[in-house]
Amino acid sequence: MLQVTTLRNERERVLEGLRKRGLDAAADVDRVVELDDRRKELQSRTEDLLAERNSLSREIGDLFKSGRKEEATAKRERVNEIKEATGPLEEQLDATVRELEEALLQLPNVPDHRVPAGATAEDNEVYRPHAGELPKPGAEARPHWELADTYGIFDLELGVRTTGSGFPVFTGQGARLQRALVNFFLDRNTAAGYTEYAPPLLVNEDTARATGQLPDKEGQMYYVQADDLYLIPTAEVPLTNLYRGELLDADALPVKLTGYTPCFRREAGSYGAHVRGLNRVHQFDKVEIVQLARPEESYAKLDEMVDHVAGLLEELGLPYRVLRLCGGDMGFTSAMTYDFEVWSAAQERWLEVSSVSNFETYQSNRLKLRYRTDRGTELLHTLNGSALALPRIIAALLENNQTEDGILLPEKLHGYVGKERLLPVR
């Protein structure tokens, strides 16, 4: 959620930024400022009345103590009049605050000045192109969903039996590979100073709202009606919310968290050739990294996270590139996002495996996540990134490393998987 002061003081920058998302927000911004003006007016009128009531009450107390009952009763009348006036005023104030908040929640984050304008993925900027040749496993290169059968990696039919489409069941050495990747990523993240957490997979509405999944992604999350809980679409949600409402000392910063969780996404309406195999599923495993940083440091931390994720992909020997997302392709809550894509040799296209973003104060404003400075308290910047999302990593490992002698695993994984290559099971 944007801050009203930002909308007031930096109106032009905000409008220009939102234009990069293809949004003309002038009317919305003006409406927020108007509502805030109204809020201030109602608040000060209400508080003036309350101040009078409080001081009269004190006088009444004194009068009673000194036994001057009639005077006390007279003042009590006046207090009752005040109460009649404050009631409706407070209702108006509450309604205005709610309206203000609703209006504010409709506005997405303002893109950083470096974010390119644009409507779709076409307009994303290749920030770090892939260096060197892309692997060519040959004309008979098989896509990962075919390899999965031969090598016994995962089974989509079994998932349909237990649940429905889009819930792959990892089997045998595939399940082992999955566990290996989770451990590898967590080990690398903790070595880089991220503290490991294993958070809940269901969250309440306040939590989903604080990181911005609500109201923006309402229909994308699985919702458990009986208990009013949402299945997390990413570990970002519980991890960032661990610090909701905190007021941190400056020397505690930056806070660095990592966590492995399954992620659940309804992906309503996405079908077709591009969603075959592991390309898009309803449940998948992901290891996430989160940072809470001082505003002046946050973009340096974003770079640090980008380098860290790049390091993971290099250790896995996967060809990748980094994109800087354009305004239209960026998430609702982000101020700047880098996407990592790995090359899928058989599908001959790039697959997104990580998204690393700086939310600036958009989340922390809702989270009420602040830190102490010499000047008082200030909102922190929140950042997060996948390090990494597993399914497409597995797809790329299978497709890129297929040989006549089996699927060769990157050296870093040998110890984790317990072997150097995957062999056919049928």
- Look at residue 359 and give its three-state secondary structure: strand
Q: How far is the CB of 58 from RNA (least distance, A)?
A: 5
Q: How far is the CB of 360 from RNA (least distance, A)?
A: 17
Q: Which lies closer to RNA via its Cβ, residue 224 or residue 247?
A: 247
Phi–psi pair at 403, nearest 5 degrees? -140, 175
Q: How far is the CB of 46 from RNA (least distance, A)?
A: 7
Angle at 137 between CA 131 and CA 139, to 5 degrees: 125
Q: How far apart are CA 392 and CA 390, in angstroms?
A: 6
Identify the CA nearest to 315 among candidates 414, 235, 178.
414
Q: Which lies closer to RNA via its Cβ, residue 24 or residue 94?
A: 94
First to last CA, the chain: 53
R_g of the chain, CA atoms, integer Å: 27
Residue 143 Cα distances to 75, 180, 400, angstroms: 84, 22, 9
Identify the CA nearest to 206 among candidates 381, 330, 368.
368
Q: How far is the CB of 47 from RNA (least distance, A)?
A: 4
Q: Which lies closer to RNA via its Cβ, residue 243 or residue 299?
A: 243
Cβ atoms within 10 Å, residue 94: 12
Contact 214, 208 (CB under 8 A): yes
Q: Which lies closer to RNA via its Cβ, residue 83 or residue 349?
A: 83
Contact 319, 130 (CB under 8 A): yes
> How would you list the strands of the sheet with 421-422, edge to edge?
402-403, 406-408, 421-422
Structural tokens at position 334: 């982000």
Q: Which lies closer to RNA via its Cβ, residue 59 or residue 267?
A: 59
Burial of 332: CB neighbours in 10 Å, binned 0-12, 13-18, 19+: middle
Q: How far is the CB of 55 from RNA (least distance, A)?
A: 6
Angle at 37 between CA 33 and CA 42, to 5 degrees: 145
Q: How far is the CB of 331 from RNA (least distance, A)?
A: 26
Q: How far is the CB of 248 from RNA (least distance, A)?
A: 11
Q: Which lies closer to RNA via its Cβ, residue 30 or residue 314?
A: 30
Q: How far apart are CA 310 and CA 327, in angstroms?
A: 23
CA neighbours closer than 13 Å in the CB half-sphere of residue 369: 29
Q: How far is the CB of 62 from RNA (least distance, A)?
A: 5
Q: Which lies closer to RNA via its Cβ, residue 56 or residue 275?
A: 56
- Look at residue 325 and give its three-state secondary structure: coil
Identify the CA nearest to 104 among candidates 181, 36, 180, 41.
36
Q: Which lies closer to RNA via its Cβ, residue 205 or residue 314?
A: 205
Q: How far is the CB of 54 from RNA (least distance, A)?
A: 4
Q: Which lies closer to RNA via its Cβ, residue 86 or residue 258?
A: 86
Using CB under 7 A as the criterion, which residues of the chain lie in contact with RNA when the complex forms? 40, 43-44, 47-48, 50-51, 53-58, 60-62, 64-65, 76, 79-80, 83, 247, 370, 372, 376-377
Q: How far apart are CA 314 and CA 318, in angstroms?
A: 6
b/e map 275-285, b = 16+ CB within 10 Å: eebbbbbbbbb
Q: How far is the CB of 103 from RNA (least distance, A)?
A: 16
Q: Which lies closer to RNA via its Cβ, residue 56 or residue 214?
A: 56
